[in-house]
Amino acid sequence: MDLFPQYVILGNNVKIGKFVILGEIPRVEKIQPLEIGADTIIRSHSVIYTNTTIGDNFQTGHGVLIRENCVIGKNVSVGSHSVLERDVILQDNVRIHSNVFIPEYTCIEQNAWIGPNVVMTNAYHPLCSKVKECLKGPTIRSHVIIGAHVTIAPYVTIGENVFIGAGSVVTKDIPDNMVAYGSPARIIKRIDQLKCKTGIKNKNPYKSIPK
């Protein structure tokens, strides 16, 4: 493990695996310590930069990269080989599965669930000379479920309690309490119309958020 003590503040009971780098220094004018909350597990080969704040009960898989200026809440987990670029917000109870890419200026609100191999984007014109002036990743509202292998375009907002089916390409905003899938993703039904295909639950396993 590589640890830069002057740039890292650890809470109680933080467990750090082998070959972890904490406090990697970014190219910023002012260095702020990396703060990691209590009861955290950072697994092997993960790298976390300074100027980032992480709440209690956080855990990573193996080989996770978290860049600078990220704000991560409590009870968050980030799966193996996932990447959080700088200036990302993950609120409380967010679950990120493995091999997920989250670009700069993305916000994921509380209790969202992001499936494996999801790719989010933040640049409409990557080769434009002014691209850095208009970068903006998606906004994922609370209680959203994003299926595996979904791609989400820049500037898109996915509303509360939405379910995005596996393999979809989301290019437009999706309103609250909807199910959408396809390429491009289209609204198919309301989430309260879903049924449990396994038969384990008699009722809809996806409860709408009370308004």
Of these residues, 45, 62, 125, 149, which one is catalytic? 125
Residue located via tokens 């493990």 = 1
Q: Which fold has domain 2-193?
A: UDP N-Acetylglucosamine Acyltransferase; domain 1 (2.160.10)
Domain definitions of the chain by residue range: 2-193
Q: Is 125 considered catalytic here?
A: yes
Q: What is the pLDDT of residues 110-127, one digit of tens each?
A: 999 999 999 999 999 888
Quick check: 96 and 90 in contact, CB under 8 A? Answer: yes
CA pair distance 87, 201, nearest whole angstrom: 39
pLDDT of 133 reads: 87
Contact, 38 vs 57, CB < 8 A?
A: yes
Q: For 14-42, how does the pLDDT look when each residue is reduced to its tens digit (9 = 90+)?
A: 999 999 999 999 988 899 999 999 999 99
- Gap between the Cα atoms of 85 and 182, Å rounded: 27
CA distances (Å), origin 142, targets 30, 134, 160, 162: 32, 25, 5, 9
